[in-house]
Structure 1
Amino acid sequence: MIQKYRTSFNANFSEQKYQDFLTRITEGYPEITFRLAESPVFLPEELKQQLITAGNEIIALIKRDDFKEITQKAIPIDWKVPNENDHPHFLTFDFGVCSDEQGKIKPMLIEMQGFPSLYGFQNHLANTYKESFDLDQQLTPFFNGLNEESYFNLLKKVIVGVHQPQEVILMDVDALNQKTLIDFSVTANKLGIKILPLEEVKKEGKKLYYIEGDKKTPIKRIYNRLIFDEIADQTSIFENSFDPREEIEVEWVTHPNWFYRISKYTMPMLKGEFVPETKFLNELTELPHDLENYVLKPLFSFAGMGVIIDVKESDISVIKDPENWILQRKVTYQPIVQSPDGGVKVEIRLMYLWPDGEEPQLCINLARLSRGKMIGVRYNADFDWVGGTVGLMES
């Protein structure tokens, strides 16, 4: 989208360079099982400023004194975790790059989460694009004047806090076989923390620990990558470890309740230039006359699962729990990233860090390219110039 970089990149692109990029990015790291796009996104200043403004408007809602009160029903009763803290440590907001009525580029909010994303991997991804395609080293994935050193110092402050790295674990179910393992690995290498499957976390009274060799190490803080939605029918996995819903003496980064509070549940509460009209299904008194211009989304789902794009009245009539669904006006993505054979749609994820006792800070970004009906990698399996990538900006 910054034309000089796009023109130069496309003119010098080759399939061999892309294959070399794929080889280089996993050197010293696990294999990547999701598709990476052939190109980064070159974010222009005007779009960058729009994204910052849009993000600030969302944060203003999250920082309201009554935010916990108005989102209390977002947390499923069966998955409420005790000892919730005052704010999430991570915020991610996904924006589709669209156009307004005058045809000008404009970001529109698609999704939001109070849950971590690829905070370690995105810096590694940006560096590898720049090295593999000989890009201007002044291009950066960071906001707010951050560089690689200051960014990882901030990430360490958020994740490790006042503890020793060995007392902090990055936890997920079957952690070493997750698609995001490369992000886990980059993060662990940078911060010195341990990747630990839930199955290897042990409980003694209210305290947690893990065993390595003959040594028993206390766990003071959990960098949580476990999404409860994904294990809702597998609670037996807690039997040989610990149940997060019990009273335990551990700090969560970020506390699991924030995954629900900051989610699709929050979107109907937002109004503004960069937010599509969104309503809870159970609060509709009548359906829109132009239902084809809306998308139906379950509140609790992951990676776009359960979303109905071409909505019919019959889809709505069979829903037995309308309080767990939202109806959102469709946005039209503009194919503004020029590939060698046509335009490609793009989505930008703003990624914030919120240290204890400080303010949330916009730090880095993630981007996804798409030619399919939806942005997710699984919906673009048969295309090239699609998949995960990163936005690069002029510093």
Structure 2
Amino acid sequence: MIPKYRKQYNQEFSDEKYNQLKNILAEKGGTAPAFRVSESPMFLTKEFESKLIDASESIISQIKAMPAETLRKAIPDNCRVPNDTDQPHFFTIDFGVCKSEDGTIEPQLIELQAFPSLYAFQKVYEETYCEVYPFLSEIRNPMPHETFKNYLKELIVGDENPENVILLEIFPEKQKTAIDFVLTEKLLGIKTVCLTKVKKEGKKLYYENNGRLIEIKRIYNRVIFDELDNIPDLTTEFDFREEVDVKWITHPNWFFKISKFLLPLLKHQFVPKSYFLHEFPENENLENFVLKPLFSFAGSGVNLNPTKEITDSIEDKENYILQRKVYYEPIFEDINGDFSKAEIRLLYIWRENDERPILLENLGRMTKAAMVNVDFNKKDAIWIGSSNAFFG
């Protein structure tokens, strides 16, 4: 996409520098990333960046204009959490890097969430790329580290003492994103606490630290709420659906409200046409669509080639969508002359008194497989995995 930077990067690349990148990340995080780190960042033009921003701003405006009742319909009855908020604290939006019919490279919306992604990790990742390849600093994200830190601290910690703020996850040490938890702790001075360790007395929540019970006043929530039912023999003192004296960052209801549920309701040239399965029109061809369950995470349950037999067998059709297929364009050239495809996630925060969210960072995922998921790649493939986009 930007031949100058791609050429220079590929010339400077070496296995030694790739290992250096991974070693610095492991050193900064106190643990190695449990997911595959791509050998290369993505280089995209300012023109492509402006298309991303234009599409995102349009989608944000459309969501803001939706009645609260429309969004509430997305929350399953058994997942409603009390004390909802007027807007989410996080907004992330995924686009595939695709080619239009006239041959130009353009983004196409894949998914959107009001759920925090790897904010702390991605900032460190971008900075580490610049350490190993100093020439990247001229096209890096212009937001200084201190500004980034202050935004996240204001959002997550607020006016509280950091010891009364926790990052909440289920079995955090087992999560692939554990390095982000450690980097968040370092950035904000907060503790990561497992849901099974949270104690409840009346409406107050506590966690134990060095033998002391400490009240929890704000929760930076990283638990995928609807996945808790799938964990066998899970015992907790605290159920999300109970009313408690804490401030959610972000409130769990937004996980459902900003989700695949919205895709059929959004309109933009970079938003592929989507339908709820029970509303799929007869004049559309199933072969042109991907089947996605509304409530799943990390691509689970996605069917790239649905058949009528498959869709007819689904009983809860209102919990599935069909999204028009988009074709990722392989444009990211590796050192062997092969090309990777990619998608990019924009990471926004949404402060409570702000009309619109603020873009902090981005997250890239590169692949040579049919799905943008590292598990689907060949073992010896390169230029795949978690990445970061530079715009120049």
The TM tier, using the shorter chain, reads over 0.9
Helix, strand or coil at the partner of 1:300: coil
Q: Secondary structure at the match of 1:27?
A: helix
Aligned residue identity for 1:124: V
d(CA) in 2 for partners of 1:136, 1:325: 42
Residue 258, structure 1, aligned to residue 258, structure 2: no
User: Aligned partners of 2:378, 2:133: CA distance in 1, in Å?
Assistant: 24
Alpha-carbon distance in structure 2 between the residues aligned to 1:235 and 1:171: 19
Which residue in the other structure is 1:83 paired with? 83
Match runs of 1:151-230 below 5 Å: 151-230=148-227
Aligned length: 388
Offset, 1:5:
0.7
The letter for the 2-side match of 1:393 is F
Identity %: 46
Q: TM-score when scaled to structure 2?
A: 0.96
Per the TM alignment, residue 336 of structure 1 is displaced from its structure 2 partner at its CA by 1.0
Structure 2 residue aligned with 1:22: 22
Report the counterpart of residue 45 of structure 1 in structure 2: 46
- The amino acid that maps onto 1:281 is L
Deviation at residue 14 of structure 1 after TM alignment: 1.2
Give 1:384's aligned residue. 382
Q: Residues 80 and 241 of structure 2 are in contact (CA less than 8 Å); yes or no, is this contact kept in structure 1?
A: yes
Alpha-carbon offset, residue 229 of structure 1: 2.7
The alpha carbon displacement at 1:175 in A equals 1.3
Once residues 381 and 158 of structure 1 are traced to their aligned partners in structure 2, the CA distance between those partners, rounded to angstroms, is: 40
The equivalent of 2:122 in structure 1 is 122
Report the Cα distance in structure 1 between the residues aligned to 2:208 and 2:339, rounded to whole angstroms. Answer: 52
Partner in structure 1 of residue 33 of structure 2: 32
* 2:334–2:382 contact (8 Å) kept in structure 1: no
Deviation digits for residues 329-375 of structure 1 (CA, Å, limit 9, x no counterpart): 10011111111231110101011001121231111100011110100
Q: Does 1:13 align with 2:13?
A: yes
Tell me, in whole angstroms, the C-alpha distance in 2 between the residues paired with 1:330 and 1:301: 19
Taking structure 1 as the reference length, what is the TM-score of the superposition? 0.95
> C-alpha deviations, 1:107-149, integer Å up to 9, x for none?
0000110100000000111111111233332322x3xx52211
Give 1:306's aligned residue: 301
CA distance in 1, matches of 2:276, 2:66: 23
What runs of 5+ residues in structure 2 fail to find an aligned partner?
none
Q: Whole-Å Cα distance in 1 between the matches of residues 212 and 249 of structure 2?
A: 24
1:353 aligns with 2:349: yes
Give the Cα–Cα distance (whole angstroms) in 1 for the partners of residues 263 and 88 of structure 2: 17
Residue-by-residue CA offset, 1:74-121 (whole Å, 9 max, x unaligned): 111111101011100000000001111110010000011010000000
CA positional deviation for 1:43:
2.2
Shift of 1:211: 1.6
C-alpha distance in 2, partners of 1:199/1:18?
Answer: 37
2:244 corresponds in structure 1 to: 248
Is the Cα–Cα contact under 8 Å of residues 280 and 326 in structure 1 kept in the other structure?
yes
Structure-2 residue corresponding to 1:375? 372
Alignment of 1:286-301 (within 5 A): 286=282, 288-289=284-285, 291-301=286-296
Helix, strand or coil for the counterpart of 1:135?
helix
SS where residue 137 of structure 2 aligns?
A: coil
Segment of structure 1 superposing worse, 343-352 or 23-32: 23-32
Contact 1:175 1:198 in 2 (8 A): no
Residue 282 (structure 1) aligned with residue 278 (structure 2): yes
Q: Secondary structure at the match of 1:63?
A: helix
Cα distance, 1:233 vs. partner? 3.0
